[in-house]
Copies of this chain bind each other. A is one copy, B any other.
């Protein structure tokens, strides 16, 4: 027997009601190269309807991919809505990728049109000749002086918008309609596309509003420092539009001191970035008035406790960890301390606990699969590969060249991370499966070694990789970036580790470097490190 409730799809057009009615006076503020612009959600809604008219005018078919090369900005926000609300697919692209990767992705997605911020034109220029699917390029003026190429396919965003007829009614009847496409920035292998639907995006945004995840509400001012091409900026733009929170967009101005100043000026209450960006902001936090800030989320990779402690020392607020993947919308876990434990924790215990990914959102189921395929218990000690299921988790990759090995036969996503889960659901990531070091038949966690090394005041960054060893199979090798002129030595690193980790975990080789290679999303590029340290191919 079926229930008799209204058949209303969970779809992005739902959010228009809030923008046009109760949140019409809330606003998005964008830093551009030539100053700051602000617009009310009421005006943004009107522009979204015009932008929808532009897409109609350009004859972008239903289901076609609309590529974006954009900083975090109001116009990118307008694309976040207008594209999926009209049945097209928003395809955000990471402009930091190599041209050959971008050409592969635009081709794989068969992007019909591209929207590009003026300061990123140089990234798009080479694609115009190599990507035949692209019929139009629409340039968004972010204050850069770069000159658009003289090409009949190139248009100006504001010019098109001014001439467009607003679309009055958005209608997505089937909530499983594709809405957005993101490619993983895999450290190895070809990028893989994840195709979100309206349902998964709406459900994901709902979880971000919950008290036990990010608790985003109408009185927040949300600053997604994480780029809008990085898994939909972790869903924060949609969560802000759904709840009526103000948005602060850093635009192309990503210098750490400018980010901190923006947080201060706009009284940001909620900000999110990867750990390396927080690390860069740290020196500029001192003396800044961040008293409005209630939560600073770190994601997209491990959060070193030492970084969170340093942030806490300067602001009174720890960083809080989170965990997810492109394949999971992305939020699966967000740090919080279960009520049973909270009363017994010191402030430093709290900082440490909040550096773990924490328990899952209400829509995600987790399991740990041991090496022999059995389920590992959730006792906080047994390890296994973390596998995830839920309506916000991918079932397959997009595209004809898609790889199915990431999905189990019973429909769970293999995350490739080794983790423990405690009886209260708190997840701790032990390592990436491929970054674990197997030495003398026992596992060594590169993540734990990195955290211990990064806790040294004289260390800026550290990455630990496996190197082949005749006797032990593999041994850890630590690549460490010292604070300039600190006098850090390999021996002082090894001495620091002594007593903090098991003796046989201590790397024989500690290499001091000026910098570490990073992936386009800011993670340590361990595959590249391994290649340069061992000469081996990965």
| B22:A395 contact, CB within 8 angstroms | no
| B22:A424 contact, CB within 8 angstroms | yes
Q: For chain A, what secondary structure do more than half of its interface residues adopt (helix, strand, loop), or is it mixed?
A: loop
A2 and B6 CA atoms in complex are apart in Å by 22
Q: Is A206 an interface residue (CB 8 A)?
A: yes
| A197:B395 contact, CB within 8 angstroms | no
List, sorted by A's number, 13 A–B pairs whose CB atoms are closer than 8 Å.
Answer: A3-B178, A4-B178, A5-B200, A6-B390, A6-B393, A8-B393, A10-B203, A18-B362, A206-B210, A211-B215, A211-B243, A212-B217, A219-B339
Tell me the nearest residue of chain B to A63, going by C-beta: B1
A394 and B2 CA atoms in complex are apart in Å by 12
Q: Is A423 an interface residue (CB 8 A)?
A: yes
Please encode chain A, from 375 to 394, with 1 for each CB lying within 8 Å of some chain B CB and 0 for all others.
Answer: 00010000000000111111
Q: Is A129 an interface residue (CB 8 A)?
A: no
Task: Supply 11 further A-B pairs (C-beta < 8 A) apart from A211-B243, A212-B217.
Answer: A1-B63, A3-B178, A4-B194, A5-B199, A6-B389, A6-B393, A7-B395, A8-B393, A21-B423, A215-B215, A219-B339
| B212:A423 contact, CB within 8 angstroms | no
Residue from A2, A207, A218 having most chain B Cβ neighbours under 10 A? A218
Please encode chain A, from 18 to 38, with 1 for each CB lying within 8 Å of some chain B CB and 0 for all others.
Answer: 100111110000000000000
| B210:A423 contact, CB within 8 angstroms | no
Tell me the nearest residue of chain B to A360, going by C-beta: B22
Q: Is A398 an interface residue (CB 8 A)?
A: yes
Q: Is A310 an interface residue (CB 8 A)?
A: no
With A176-B2, A177-B1, A424-B22 known as contacts, the answer to whether A212 contacts B206 (CB < 8 A) is no
Tell me the nearest residue of chain B to A194, going by C-beta: B4
CB distance from A116 to the nearest CB of B (A): 23
| A10:B210 contact, CB within 8 angstroms | no
With A1-B177, A2-B177, A3-B178 known as contacts, the answer to whether A218 contacts B209 (CB < 8 A) is no
A391 and B215 CA atoms in complex are apart in Å by 22
Q: Is A151 an interface residue (CB 8 A)?
A: no
| B178:A243 contact, CB within 8 angstroms | no
Q: Which residues does chain B contribute within 8 Å of A234, judged by CB atoms?
A: none
A363 and B203 CA atoms in complex are apart in Å by 11
| B6:A218 contact, CB within 8 angstroms | no
| A3:B176 contact, CB within 8 angstroms | yes
Please encode chain A, from 88 to 117, with 1 for each CB lying within 8 Å of some chain B CB and 0 for all others.
Answer: 010000000000000000000000000000
Q: How large is the interface on A (under 10, 10 to 19, 20 to 34, 35 or more residues)?
A: 35 or more
CB distance from A188 to the nearest CB of B (A): 22
Q: Which residues does chain B contribute within 8 Å of A390, judged by CB atoms?
A: 6, 8
Q: Is A359 an interface residue (CB 8 A)?
A: yes
Q: Is A522 an interface residue (CB 8 A)?
A: no
A5 and B194 CA atoms in complex are apart in Å by 8
Q: Is A396 an interface residue (CB 8 A)?
A: yes
With A22-B423, A211-B211, A425-B22 known as contacts, the answer to whether A206 contacts B362 (CB < 8 A) is yes
Q: Which residues does chain B contribute within 8 Å of A216, judged by CB atoms?
A: 211
Q: Which residues does chain B contribute within 8 Å of A242, judged by CB atoms?
A: 362
Q: Which residues does chain B contribute within 8 Å of A14, judged by CB atoms?
A: 362-363, 365
A329 and B176 CA atoms in complex are apart in Å by 24
Q: Is A517 an interface residue (CB 8 A)?
A: no
With A218-B339, A362-B243 known as contacts, the answer to whether A179 contacts B3 (CB < 8 A) is yes
Tell me the nearest residue of chain B to A246, going by C-beta: B339
Q: Is A195 an interface residue (CB 8 A)?
A: yes
A339 and B25 CA atoms in complex are apart in Å by 11
Q: Which residues does chain B contribute within 8 Å of A363, judged by CB atoms?
A: 14
The 7 closest A-B pairs by CB, nearest first: A3-B197, A22-B425, A1-B63, A219-B339, A211-B215, A211-B217, A5-B200
- Residue of B9, B177, B397, B413 touching A3 (CB-CB under 8 A): B177
Tell me the nearest residue of chain B to A198, going by C-beta: B3
Q: Is A71 an interface residue (CB 8 A)?
A: no
Q: Which residues does chain B contribute within 8 Å of A176, judged by CB atoms?
A: 2-3, 5
Q: Is A196 an interface residue (CB 8 A)?
A: yes
A398 and B425 CA atoms in complex are apart in Å by 40
Q: Is A411 an interface residue (CB 8 A)?
A: yes
With A22-B423, A423-B24 known as contacts, the answer to whether A200 contacts B3 (CB < 8 A) is yes
